[in-house]
Structure 1
Amino acid sequence: MSAFVIRSASGAEDREFIRTLDDRLIDVIVAPAHSRAEVAAFQARFTATAFAASEEAGATFVACNADGRRLGYVNVRPGVDDIADAPCAYIALLAVVEEQERTGVARALVQHAESWAMQKGYERIALDVFASNAGARAFYESAGYGAETLRLVRQI
């Protein structure tokens, strides 16, 4: 594993880097009730919220190697635990460049998001993952996350 640092995202170059990872996220989404164009439009809209949330109460963090090359990012923001009817932290987005998969970058980004959440006083952290994204599901489960709900969709 190469050495890297995690820092707060800022500026146009970080925004562009984050946007460039949309295709990686889109490629693992199988949404039978939606077209690929709808999935791509959703992802673009959702990614755009990463900085809007950061400017309010959330945060976006970028992992960079020693040369400053961006390796991945995580966006965490306030959410709601519907079961406890209480605030929780919410990992909205997480992506790493393909060659950084299974190197510890994603795990470090999640741990950074969890630390941010604890500093903010949250007792829980939640996230959503597409059912078709088996790799991400296995990664999150290995990090201690467990499924509580399953949303089913049908086009009518």
Structure 2
Amino acid sequence: MTRGSCWCKKVQYEYDATPIHKVQCHCVTCQKISGAAFTVNVMVPKSAVKITQGEGDLKNYTQQHILGKPLTVYFCGTCSSNIWKNLHTEETEDLWVIQTGTLDGENGELGADVEVPAREGFPGDRAKWLPQVPGLTTIP
């Protein structure tokens, strides 16, 4: 069972599934959502995710992704941590795209080390100063 939470710990969740994808994403939408150069995401079936605390504190916002499809971002209404998102396409409607920085590692492990990316998305939007991570395959 993999667990995660927002910064203030009001929203907590867990999932019991092997991620379908583990992606370091450089798209402009992810940059705007995170305020950073990229996000690291794991995609798991919605049915495998359970909110264990703070469901009432979970807020959402929907806007067009750069791909032209609606994207809904879910975040804590108290601390504003982005927890997961959902790109509304036929292929991804039933998946939560979990932000790995919200994962709670065991024994001091950082959340971003719980699920390590295997792929790199939108490499053309990668910050010019940021090198490609060795070993990641790229997807357009």
Common fold: TM-score over 0.5 = no
**TM-score band w.r.t. shorter chain:** under 0.3
Flag the structure with more relative contact order, 1 or 2, with Cα contacts below 8 A and sequence separation at least 6: 2
Q: Comparing both structures, which one devotes a greater share of its residues to strand? A: 2
Q: Comparing both structures, which one devotes a greater share of its residues to helix? A: 1
TM-score normalised over the length of structure 2: 0.27
User: Which structure has the greater CA radius of gyration?
Assistant: 1
TM-score normalised over the length of structure 1: 0.25
